Structure 1
Amino acid sequence: MEQRTKIGARRKLFVIETPIDLPDGFGGFTRSWQAGPTVWGALETLRFDERRIADRTEEVATHRLRLRRRTPPPAGSRFALGPRRFDLRASDAAEAPARDLVCLVEEIRP
C-alpha cells in the first residue's frame, strides 16, 4: 500500500543549501554553503547508528524527508532546519506518489 503524506504533515520549513567550493591557493578548496529555496517537509526518523572514524565514535541519525514534488536538489546538497543540518544521501521521486519527492538524509552532528 502506498503511503501518502498529507499537506498538514509537512510542517517543518527546510532551507536547501548548495555547496560552493573555492580554491584555497594550496591545491585544495574551501567549502561554504549558499542558502537556496525554502521548502515545507515531513521528517521521519529511520534509525540511529554509531560509526567509528579515526578512533572516534560518531553518532549518525538517518531520516526520510518527504517534500512536495519538485526537481531533486543537486548532489552534495544539504537541508537546514534551524541549527540542524542534514546531508542528502539519495532522492527518489518514483518511490512515492506523484506529488511527493522522497529524500534519504543523514543528520550531521557537530
Structure 2
Amino acid sequence: MNMTFLDPGQFTARLDLEAASSTADWQGGAVTAWTVAASLWARIEPANFTFAETAGQMRGQLTHRIWIRAREGVAEGMRFRKGARVFTIRAIREPDETGRYLVCLCEEGAL
C-alpha cells in the first residue's frame, strides 16, 4: 500500500461542514435547515466539468475533490460552505486506508 503524502500547507481553504435537519412545515412538507457541524481546513481540487441539458437549457456541473483530515461524522449528503460557495458531498473515500485523510467528491452548487 502506498502512503499518500500531503504537505500540510496545501490545506489552505477554511470550510464549514454543514449538516441538514428537516422539520415539518405542518402543510405536508418539510423545511430543511443547515447547521454548521465543524469548521476545518481543506484542500480543494477541481476534478471535472460536464454539460447536461435540463429543461431545454444547457447547464454546467463542476465537481471537486476536497481533502480533509479524517474525522468522524462526515457523510454523503452533508455539504461544505466557503462563503457563498456550496459543495455537496456525493462520495467519500480514504485515499490510502491509513485513516489520516478523507477525500470527498463534491458537486458545486448542487442541493
How do 1:1-110 residues align onto structure 2 when only pairs under 5 Å count? Answer: 3-93=4-94, 95-96=95-96, 98=98, 99-108=100-109
1:24-77 per-position Cα deviation (integer Å, ceiling 9, x unaligned):
222211111111211101000111111222223322111101111112513310
CA contact (8 A) 2:44 2:66 kept: yes
Q: Give the AA of the match of 2:96.
A: A
**Relative to 1, partners in 2 of residues 1:2 and 1:85: Cα closer, same or farther, differing over 3 Å?**
same
CA distance in 1, matches of 2:41, 2:103: 12
Q: Secondary structure at the match of 1:47?
A: strand
CA distance in 2, matches of 1:97, 1:6: 18
How many residues get paired?
A: 109
**Relative to 1, partners in 2 of residues 1:6 and 1:47: Cα closer, same or farther, differing over 3 Å?**
same
How well do the aligned residues superpose, as a CA RMSD in angstroms?
1.9
CA contact (8 A) 2:88 2:106 kept: yes
CA distance in 2, matches of 1:81, 1:39: 11
Task: Compute the TM-score of the two structures, normalised by the length of structure 2.
Answer: 0.86
Percent identity (aligned)? 28
Task: Compute the TM-score of the two structures, normalised by the length of structure 1.
Answer: 0.87
